[in-house]
Amino acid sequence: MTTESPSTEAPSTETRPAGSAARFATAADLLEAIQPGTGGREILDPATGAVVGRAPEATPEDLESAIAAARAAQPAWGARSHAERSAALNAAADAVEANAEALAELLSREQGKPLNGPNARFEVGACVAWLRATAGFELEPEVLFDDDGGRAELHYRPLGVVGAIGPWNWPMMISVWQIAPSLRMGNTVVVKPSGNTPLSVLALVHVMNTALPADLLHVVAGRRDVGALLVEHPDIAKIMFTGSTAAGKKIIKDSADTVKRVTMELGGNDAGIVLPDVDARAIAEDLFWGAFINTGQTCAALKRLYVHEDVYDDVCAALVEVAEVMPMGVGLEEQNVLGPLQNQAQYDVVAGLVQAAKDSGARVLTGGDPDESAPGYFYPATLVADIEDGNPLVAEEQFGPALPIVKYSSVDEAVEMANGLEVGLGASVWSADREAAVEIAARIEAGTVWINKHGAVDPRMPFGGMKQSGFGLEFGVEGLKHLGAPQVINY
């Protein structure tokens, strides 16, 4: 996402519809509503180490009850008209919008992302935008033919109960990406959030459920074994999965015995190709946010940058200028736009890859020197130049604030390097010549290729990966089709 995308802008309070007053003024109010009375697992703030709250630890029995309730509620929900289901989604959007500030505060404390910049407020705003957009899409039955020989129509029926499994980087927004089209198509949903960010998803679902009919939407916060049970359960018709390629492969295998439908939104290692005709300073800020959105913890972020030798030094210098003025710190402090890594494991991945790059002789232009004695998983925005294409920082998904910048001399070479990995989620081409850029885009193996921007998702544009970045599409009418069972009526 980029902040320029109008459809993902945080909504202003002026647009709040009458009658949808906030029920939760602060994150503390939300926590009171979602925490278990006793027990639970402490969730720590990645910026400070302070306790954010306690998350329930669901058992397999809790999962069974949620699936049974969702299953019981589905036929009546599936029988409602599209207009009624759209109205329910819009009501859920109003509820999220009315409680946006409390949700953003909790998200910031649990995930670490700052309130400002393309971060927590932006994410809650995107939840509202996606709910409303999904409510507005029309999926009419398609007439395949209608002639003397007869007529055939293609309809999409509800699937049943959808299991939604999501990651910790954009926990609220990605949950909405899974929930909204599922409900819109007449399914009910059981969500299994990441163990790193359960409170954000519990709070989001709690707020949505203040507006939705009862029992359509459930959340079961538990460990991976609860997720595995969801995947194997015979009463789950489809799994919407967003996470790593490794977990996706396991889920594909585990879902085989029940021949489950699956949508796989998996890891990426997006390439950006910068052509020699760019104005380095003019594109530097967009390049920076393409890579460092959510402090680099974004599936379709720019993760390896290929820059033509003619402009290599200029692009490196312009990026350093931008990176060095971006404030990083505790998310609740309004001036910050970069935050910590969400967890120790991800911090270790980023630190390890940068260290390996340094050891190989690559040149750190800025960053790369975390203050190990300070609290929180802060890793400074890091730019690494003079690095070989096969270096682990280039070839592996860093999922954090460290961008390798590789020099190239011919476009063919750049395209070959961009296509050289097993993943293909997003990519971008940067040039003053749009036609030339579009021609190069067609040669890149990625589900979305942006020109002169990176990562700008929009609810109207189908989103999904090529190669091992997954299969199945989200968003738009295409996304709705992936949450329905196609049925042909022929007479």
Question: Is the distance from CB of 399 to CB of 296 less than 8 angstroms?
Answer: yes
Question: For residue 224, what are its two tokens?
Answer: 């991976």
Query: Is 423 a binder of ligand NAD (CB under 6 A)?
Result: no
Size of the site for ligand NAD (CB under 6 A): 30
Q: Which of these is catalytic: 265, 397, 445, 474? A: 265
Binding range to ligand NAD, per CB under 6 A, among 138-146, 288-296, 311-319, 465-473:
465-473
How many CB atoms neighbour CB 83 within 10 A?
8
- How far apart are CB 373 and ligand NAD at their closest, in Å? 27
Query: Is 56 a binder of ligand NAD (CB under 6 A)?
Result: no
Query: Is 111 a binder of ligand NAD (CB under 6 A)?
Result: no
- How far apart are CB 446 and ligand NAD at their closest, in Å? 11
Query: Is 90 a binder of ligand NAD (CB under 6 A)?
Result: no
Closest CB to ligand NAD among 225 and 313?
225
Question: 465, 472, 476, 484: which one contacts ligand NAD (CB under 6 A)?
Answer: 465
DSSP state of 96: H
Query: Is 227 a binder of ligand NAD (CB under 6 A)?
Result: yes
Q: What are phi and psi of 249, to 5 degrees?
A: -65, -40
Instruction: Tell me the Ramachandran region of residue 475: left when phi exceeds 0, alpha when psi lies from -120 to 50, beta otherwise.
Output: left
Query: Is 472 a binder of ligand NAD (CB under 6 A)?
Result: no
Question: For residue 308, what are its two tokens?
Answer: 């033509």
Instruction: Tell me the Ramachandran region of residue 282: left when phi exceeds 0, alpha when psi lies from -120 to 50, beta otherwise.
Output: alpha
- Amino acid letter at 333? E
CA–CA separation, 161 and 183 (whole Å): 10
CA–CA separation, 310 and 295 (whole Å): 29
Closest CB to ligand NAD among 20 and 258?
258
- How far apart are CB 15 and ligand NAD at their closest, in Å? 27
Query: Is 16 a binder of ligand NAD (CB under 6 A)?
Result: no
Q: Exposure of 57 by Cβ count < 10 A (0-12 exposed, 13-18 middle, 19+ buried)?
A: middle
Question: For residue 136, what are its two tokens?
Answer: 């507005």
* E strand segments, 367-432: 382-385, 402-408, 423-424, 426-430
DSSP state of 268: -
- How far apart are CB 162 and ligand NAD at their closest, in Å? 14
| Strand bridging mode 423-424 / 466-467 | antiparallel
- Amino acid letter at 103? L
Query: Is 228 a binder of ligand NAD (CB under 6 A)?
Result: yes
- How far apart are CB 206 and ligand NAD at their closest, in Å? 18
Strand partners for 401: none
Question: 20, 59, 209, 244: which one contacts ligand NAD (CB under 6 A)?
Answer: 244
Closest CB to ligand NAD among 275 and 291?
291
Question: 168, 289, 377, 471: which one contacts ligand NAD (CB under 6 A)?
Answer: 168
CA dihedral 32, 34, 38, 41 (to 10 degrees): -120
Question: For residue 429, what are its two tokens?
Answer: 């081409």
Active site residue 265: yes
- How far apart are CB 352 and ligand NAD at their closest, in Å? 16
Question: 134, 200, 242, 295: which one contacts ligand NAD (CB under 6 A)?
Answer: 242
Query: Is 231 a binder of ligand NAD (CB under 6 A)?
Result: yes
Question: 176, 190, 266, 456: which one contacts ligand NAD (CB under 6 A)?
Answer: 266
Active site positions, annotated: 265
Question: Site residues (CB under 6 A) for ligand NAD?
Answer: 165-169, 174, 192, 194-195, 224, 227-228, 231, 242-244, 247, 250-251, 265-268, 299, 397, 399, 425, 465, 469-470
